[in-house]
Structure formats: structure tokens, C-alpha cells
Structure 1
Amino acid sequence: MTTRQLTARPRGRRLSTRDRLTLTLMAGVPTLLTVGLVWLPALASVVLSFASWPGIGGVQNIHWIGLENYRNIFTIYPPFQPALEHNLLWLVVFFCVPAPLGLFLAVQLDKQIRFSRLYQSVLFMPVVLSLALVGFMTELIFSPTQGLINNLTGHTQGSSVIDWLGNPNLNIWAVLVMACWRQTGYVMIMYLAGLKSVDPSLKEAASLDGASGWQTFRHVVWPALRPINVVVLVITVIESLRAFDIVYIINRGTNGLELLSVLVTNNIIGEASRIGFGSALATILLVISMVFIVPYLVTVFRKDSRT
């Protein structure tokens, strides 16, 4: 064998026309669907937020009114303030309850305890349920006279009845309990997948150095979960801001259950269709989500680029 033959590098196989066509379809079709069904409607909503359009007729019925929709939302639209407060409350509760609870359950299940697969299935089961079905379950559990809670506590008759779903000071918390129950399994399964990817030798090295379980988690496991933390952050923000089904099933998002997603729906596909006004509400919802997501992503990517 000659020196030239020894030093020659193997050349990559050239793609055939069929392979190129397959790769183009595999990458192009999802891209076109994402652009056509997500990005273009989102950009159209931002543009229409500066216009007045009843949703019927063509482009000639669109009247550009500048910032009037936003001005009306913040000044003369009463449902906006409680809906904004409820969405922010939803976001805070999701950060404070399902996120740490899901992480705790994932850490416990990662210890290979007995029947861990069964526990994973049971805890993840609520995630496969639609929010509409969770709304029906909320009615069954928190109904004033027929609900499970009041029947267990004996508050089903007379003045002792607790109207969990009709009282605007209580119904948001009843709904949040059920939403957290569903969200916890979602966060748990994501963190569990992240924990499975942590190199076991790192944990063993930390234990050999005398690190406690908490120190190992803090200095070894937690930094390795940074990509999962980004996913959990994004999912938590999206799930909290797009909440709709569960409150709409109970009372159509009124009387203490106002959410921005319900206001968007009511204005766009309601009886008095106001596409521009609903688009302005949707744009505000988009901006709120970006306020939480973008700074964290920028910080994480900067740290990754420095390491």
C-alpha cells in the first residue's frame, strides 16, 4: 500500500437526486407549515392590532386606526385588568408549585425506587388529559352541592355551602389546583429525562470527594440540567398564558375566571367580532410571554458561549 493510499481521506458519499428530494421534503414541509400556520398568522395579528376590521369583507373593510385599540384596552375595557392579573397569578403559581414539585418528584423517581415505573405512569397520566376534560373534573370535584370536596367536609346544605366555582374569590384557586395537578406531571417527565442524561460518574466522583446529596445535586446535577431548565421555563410561560379550556368549560371565563386568552376568543369569534381589538389583546399576550422568555434565553446562551 502506497503512502498516498494511507494518507488519503475517505470522501463522503454523494447524495443522489432522490436523497436530496427526500431531505428537501423532510425539512421543507415542516418549515412551510410552521411559517404558514404560526409565524404568518402571528405577524398578521400584530399588523391587524393597529386596525379596525369586523372580520367580514375584504381588505377594503380594514381601517387603520393606529394605537386606538391599545388605548381602549388600557382605559375603557373593564375585563382587561382582572384578566391580566389572573394570567400573572397563573404564571406565578406555575413557577412556585408545579416546577419545583415536578423537579422533586423527578429526583425521587431517578433514585430507582421500587415501582418507579408505576409511579411515573400515575403521575404523568393527568398530562394526557385535555384541559377541557380537566374542566369537567373540576366541576365534579368543586361543585357546591354534588362536588367531592363539599361532600367530604359536609358543606352541602344551607348556609354552610361553599360555592367554590361561583365565588369569584375562590374559583380561580380551585381551577389553579387542577391546573397545577396536570402541569406537575409534565414538568416531572421533562426533568426526569434530563436526570437520565447526567453522567453517573460525576455523581460518584462527588460522593467520593465527600459531597452530601444536596451538595451533589447543587454543584453537579443542577448545572447539567440547564438545557432542561430553559425548556421548563418556556413551557411554563406558554402553558400559563394560553390557559383557556378549563375556565371556559366552567363559566366561559367570567365571574372571577377572566383570562386574556378568553378575551381574545370573545372578541375574534364572538357575536360582535372585532378582529383588530382581539389582535391587540393577542399581541399584548405575546409581549408578556417574550418579557419572561427572551431575557432568560439571552442569559443562558451568553453563559454557554463563554464556557
Structure 2
Amino acid sequence: MSTDTTTENPEAAAEPSPGAAPRQSPTGHRRLLTRRDRITLGLMAGLPTILHVALVWLTALASIALAFTSWNGIGFDSIQWVGLQNFRELFTNNPQFWPAVEHNVVWFVVLILLPTPFGLFLAMQLDKRIRFSRVYQTAFFLPVVMSLAVIGFVWQLVYNPDTGLINSVIGANKPGHYIDWIGDPDLNLWAVLIAASWRHAGYMMILYLAGLKGVDPALREASSLDGADEWQTFKNVVFPTLRPTNTVVLVVTIIEALRAFDLVFVFNKGAQGTELLSILVTNNIIGESSRVGYGSAIAVVLLVISLAVIVPYLIATFRKERRA
């Protein structure tokens, strides 16, 4: 006598076969996500969001609030509200503030005038698909993926007054005649900028190389048929097409100039001649005489300058997306 398997094993009957259609809800809609899937997605999206809000947004808001206080960083009961006093002192009584602003501006000007065009030149050459182009891309992009602390250490060896490469080549490594590239206030900023430009050129090369991939080859062929040489093709066809890439490059370069810290701190911890806004923030917050409120005020100024650059870029980007 045969038995009904569905009555003897109801669980087996409830499970769909491998080729069966997805289970439907009583209303007739297909259930694409199970409860376990929703929990997994919630954890994957929720935990990074919580960490981002806690470590970025909350700390930024706390810094803005602390900018209007006086606090030595020891005990919350020592926080005192001082209003705009930190900002008044920063703009009027700090002899390092305006030199730091000037150095940040110099940092931006050097990066936009030297390594950025050089990165574009490298991208143009590599876009021609020359032999070993992958090797060249790796070699020029390697400093970008390296830690800035490692880059600073390498360039410290290059600038060493006694055994450094530069002084050894130019014969300036003798006692009493050597050039102190890092210790001289008239030279140390430019020495650091050379190291920063070495890294920035590879970054710009990759950005422009990605932009050049979007240039229609038909436009170049048409320009060549019209008798235009390579420079005319670049000036009238390629460079106008790179306008979105140029905008990204400009924003990235400004951000790089404002957040410059690692190289300077590794070189000489922001000694005279290499003062930067980021160095002033660090020295006031974790220095010998901790002034968390004053350092936060400098950080707020740096944040405002950054937002003044980033916000217009984001607005323009969103407007283009809406028009598209």
C-alpha cells in the first residue's frame, strides 16, 4: 500500500525544488529578500555608516564646538566657553598663522604649475601605447600608493647634508660647505615641495590617462585629415574634451595643498619655513602646551576653506547630472 509523502514529511513538501519558482507572498508578490538577507544587508550598510558618522561627522561637529572653548584636553570639567576669542587671537596675535596660509598657497601654486602639467605630459605619451607603457605607468604611479611617511624617509636620505645624493653630486657634502636642505628656512619648503611634486605627478598622470580614454578617436582622425599637427590637435580637440578631468584635477590639487601634513612632519615637524595650517592644528592640540580649543579653531578655518572649494564643485556636478 503506497503512502502520501506529503503527509508523512510536511517539511519536505514545504521546501521548493531547485528548479521551482521563488516563493510568493499571500498577496501574490515575489519575496526577493528573506529576513536573513535583510539582516545581512543591514549589518553591511549599517556598521560602516555608524563608524563613519561616529569617527567623521561627530568628531567634526565636536571640533567646531570646541573651537569656541578653552580646554587643555584633561577632564571635561575644565572646558570653558570663550566665544570668538580663539579666532580673534588666531587672526591678530599668532605670528605663524599667516605664514602658514602663505605656505599652503605656495604649495597649491607649485602643485598646479609643475607636477600637474608634467602628469598630463606623461599621460599623453602613455596614451600613444608605446612599448612597455604598463611598466612606465607602474613606475610613475608607485609613489602614489606608497605611504607619505616612507616617501619622506626616502627624500630625507636624498637631502642628507653629509651622505645625501644631491650634496654628493654637487660636491656640497664637506664640513662647512654643505647645504642643509631640510634645516635651512629658505630652502626647506622647496625641498619638501619637490618630494610632494614627485608623488603628485603620478596621481595627475592616472587622472589624465583616464580622461584621455574618453576622447573620441574619430575627432583626432578628423583633425589629422584637416592638416592639424599634434599640438594643434591637442589644443583644439583633446584639451577641450578634458574639461571635466581638469575640474577634478583642480579640486584634488586644492585638497592636496590644504591637507598637506605627512611629508612636512616627517621632514622637520613643521619647523620655521615649513609652517602649514595642518601643522599648526597638530602642534596646538598634541603639543607640549595642549590648547585643544585653539587648535580646533585653526581646524575650523581649514574646514571652511575646504568647503568653499568642494561645495561649488558638488553643486555643479549635481546640476550636470540633473540636466542629463
TM range (shorter): 0.7 to 0.9
Q: Secondary structure at 2:131's aligned position in 1?
A: coil
1:285 to 302, 307, 313: 302
Aligned identity (percent) is 60
In structure 1, the residue matched to 2:5 is none
CA gap of 1:15–1:208, structure 2 versus 1, over 3 A, is farther
In structure 2, the residue matched to 1:30 is 48
**Cα distance in 2 for residues equivalent to 1:32 and 1:242:** 25
1:208 CA displacement: 4.1
In structure 1, the residue matched to 2:266 is 249
Unpaired stretches in structure 1, ≥5 consecutive residues: 1-10
What letter matches 2:197 in structure 1? C
CA deviation map 1:180-228 (0-9, x unaligned): 0011111111221222243434433444455543444344433443443
What letter matches 1:43 in structure 2? L
Would you say the 8 A contact 1:168–1:257 is kept in 2? yes
Q: In the alignment, is residue 239 of structure 1 matched against residue 286 of structure 2?
A: no
In structure 1, the residue matched to 2:278 is 261
1:296 CA displacement: 4.4
Tell me which structure has the larger Cα radius of gyration. 2
Q: In the alignment, is residue 91 of structure 1 matched against residue 79 of structure 2?
A: no
RMSD: 2.5
**Cα distance in 1 for residues equivalent to 2:38 and 2:241:** 37
**Cα distance in 1 for residues equivalent to 2:235 and 2:186:** 39
CA gap of 1:277–1:22, structure 2 versus 1, over 3 A, is same
Q: In the alignment, is residue 52 of structure 1 matched against residue 70 of structure 2?
A: yes
**Cα distance in 2 for residues equivalent to 1:34 and 1:196:** 33
1:279 CA displacement: 0.5
Relative to the length of structure 1, the TM-score reads 0.86
Unpaired stretches in structure 2, ≥5 consecutive residues: 1-28
Equivalence map 1:160-239=2 (5 Å): 160-239=177-256
Q: Secondary structure at 1:162's aligned position in 2?
A: coil
**Cα distance in 1 for residues equivalent to 2:32 and 2:148:** 49
In structure 1, the residue matched to 2:174 is 157
Q: Secondary structure at 1:160's aligned position in 2?
A: coil
Relative to the length of structure 2, the TM-score reads 0.82
**Cα distance in 1 for residues equivalent to 2:211 and 2:141:** 16
In structure 2, the residue matched to 1:7 is none
Once structures 1 and 2 are overlaid, which stretch shifts more, 128-137 or 13-22? 13-22
In structure 1, the residue matched to 2:122 is 105
**Cα distance in 2 for residues equivalent to 1:257 and 1:75:** 20
In structure 2, the residue matched to 1:135 is 152
**Cα distance in 1 for residues equivalent to 2:157 and 2:129:** 35
1:298 CA displacement: 4.0
Number of aligned residues: 296
What letter matches 2:206 in structure 1? I
**Cα distance in 1 for residues equivalent to 2:217 and 2:210:** 14
Would you say the 8 A contact 2:192–2:267 is kept in 1? no
Q: In the alignment, is residue 76 of structure 1 matched against residue 93 of structure 2?
A: yes
In structure 2, the residue matched to 1:118 is 135
What letter matches 1:101 in structure 2? F
1:33 CA displacement: 2.6
2:60 to 34, 42, 52: 42
Once structures 1 and 2 are overlaid, which stretch shifts more, 139-148 or 174-183? 139-148
Once structures 1 and 2 are overlaid, which stretch shifts more, 193-202 or 95-104? 193-202
